[in-house]
Amino acid sequence: MKISQITLYHLRMPLLAAFKTSFGSSLERECILLEAHSEGLVGYGECVADFDPGYSYETSGTAWHILSDFMVPVILSTDLGSVQDLQEKVANVRGHPMAKAGLEMVLWDLLGKREGRNLQELIGGSGESVQVGVSVGIQENQSILIDVVEGYLQKGYQRVKLKIMPGRDEADVKAVRQAFPDLQLQVDANSAYNLDSAKTLLPLDEMDLLMIEQPLAEDDLWDHRQLQKTFSTPICLDESIGSDRHARQALEMEACRVINIKAGRVGGISQGLAIHNLCYQSGVPVWCGGMLETGVGRAANLALASLPGFVFPGDISATDRYYAEDITNEIFELNPGSSIDVPKGPGLGISIDTQALDKFTVRKTTFP
């Protein structure tokens, strides 16, 4: 399939509430929406790189540069038979997985629309809906944290992830655990500890957590192995897993017992699938992480999370967890039982609200 035109939209969208993690606090979220025309069809993809390099080195600025100057020109000059084809064409771009993943997502959308099949079918997922939870940022104090968690429980979320950092770990998690003894609870440190400071996490091992996500540095599989040996709670890796090769090595090394899969972090849905397949064959549980996506990325996450190896609830919350207004016409709602429906329309199964898109666009460019 030949893509004749690609438009990049750099978006900045207000979040309903500040989201604070160990790497920073934000009231807005940025991303790049990709729109591609091919054979009379229009496809969309979301590049999840945010404004600042807090979660990873990629930013909306670097992704804009890499897409505009290196990847879009290559893609516009070729005929793409498959997603693998696209990955081969951009293989000489080192790193920048979020930029690649955005481009790959557009192609999935176009291929699905051409064949009249949805992303879930294309990748071999199944089911009407997937189990989801909510990721809760660091709050002012424990009583506010408990109120915020309680609010989400009232909305129907049955699994909660708390962001933690040094100084905001044991007491916060203990307070939530005492208030909600039966809640499915897990934590995410976004690499805020080292082997020494992680000693303050030991009490969490007694708090009946589903997992402890990414306590140590992104490039530190070995120390995650050392830490996992001292915890009976499973360690889950997010930032550390950039490919199926990393996933295999982490599992061989026993650096973790669970993997968070984000298509953006690993360079695309195809690589997310590869990690899923590896883990599924080895009996290692995975789940779908989130990057505060718009409805575009959320649709892709829901399809991915419908694969059989995704056994823990995803960080895929309802639209009203994030935005007062989104760029898709489709609004994602939480079902009773803490699930969200997988879109069933062709491709990603979403359509764009062009007025909202206009409102949130801070720059835009069309190639050629």
| C-alpha closest to that of 271 among 236, 304, 239 | 304
Sheet with 286-288: strands ordered across: 134-136, 159-163, 184-188, 212-213, 235-237, 258-261, 286-288
Q: Read off the DSSP letter of residue 276.
A: H
Q: How far apart are CA 14 and CA 201, in angstroms?
A: 33
CA atoms 223, 308, 106, 327: torsion sign: negative
Choice between 110 and 132, CB closer to ligand OSB: 132
Please, which of residues 171-210 interact with Mg ion by CB under 5 A? Answer: 188
**The one catalytic residue among 2, 262, 344, 359:** 262
Choice between 31 and 71, CB closer to Mg ion: 31
- Contact between 256 and 237 under an 8 Å Cβ cutoff? The reply is yes
Residue of minimal CB distance from Mg ion?
238
Q: Which two tokens stand for residue 189?
A: 């440190």
Closest approach of Cβ 15 to ligand OSB, in Å?
A: 11
Consecutive H or E run containing 277 = helix 269-282
Amino acid at 280: Y
Please, which of residues 71-90 interact with Mg ion by CB under 5 A? Answer: none
Query: Which member of 35, 104, 238, 244 binds ligand OSB (CB under 6 A)?
Result: 238
> Which of Mg ion, ligand OSB, none does residue 290 bind (CB under 5 to 8 Å by kind)?
ligand OSB
Q: Which two tokens stand for residue 297?
A: 């990325």
Q: What is the DSSP string of 23-52?
A: TEEEEEEEEEEEEEEETTEEEEEEE---SS
Query: Which member of 38, 131, 190, 240 binds ligand OSB (CB under 6 A)?
Result: 190
Choice between 72 and 165, CB closer to Mg ion: 165
Query: Which member of 220, 238, 293, 330 binds Mg ion (CB under 5 A)?
Result: 238
**Does the protein bind ligand OSB through residue 59 (CB under 6 A)?**
no
Closest approach of Cβ 148 to ligand OSB, in Å?
A: 14
Q: How far apart are CA 184 and CA 262, in angstroms?
A: 21
Which residues fall within 8 angstroms of residue 140, CB to CB, at 6 or more apart?
A: none
**Does the protein bind ligand OSB through residue 55 (CB under 6 A)?**
yes
| Span of 30-38, 143-151, 274-282, 288-296 interacting with ligand OSB by CB under 6 A | 288-296
Closest approach of Cβ 29 to Mg ion, in Å?
A: 15
Number of helices followed by number of strands (H, E) in the chain: 14, 13
Query: Which member of 289, 309, 313, 347 binds ligand OSB (CB under 6 A)?
Result: 289
Closest approach of Cβ 116 to ligand OSB, in Å?
A: 30
> Which residues are 84's β-sheet partners?
none
Q: How far apart are CA 77 and CA 53, in angstroms?
A: 31
| Span of 108-116, 289-297, 337-345, 348-356 interacting with ligand OSB by CB under 6 A | 289-297
- Applying CB under 6 A, the site for ligand OSB has a residue count of 11
Please, which of residues 65-124 interact with ligand OSB by CB under 6 A? Answer: none
Please, which of residues 291-310 interact with ligand OSB by CB under 6 A? Answer: 291-292
**The one catalytic residue among 155, 163, 229, 344:** 163
Q: Where are the beta strands (DSSP E) in 149-234?
A: 159-163, 184-188, 212-213
Q: Where are the beta strands (DSSP E) in 93-157?
A: 129-131, 134-136
- Letters for 9-38 (x = contact with ligand OSB by CB under 6 A, - = none) are ------------------------------
262 is catalytic: yes
| Span of 143-151, 268-276, 287-295, 340-348 interacting with ligand OSB by CB under 6 A | 287-295
> Catalytic residue positions?
163, 262
Residues of this chain that interact with ligand OSB (CB under 6 A) are 55, 135, 188, 190, 238, 289-292, 315, 317
Residues of this chain that interact with Mg ion (CB under 5 A) are 188, 213, 238
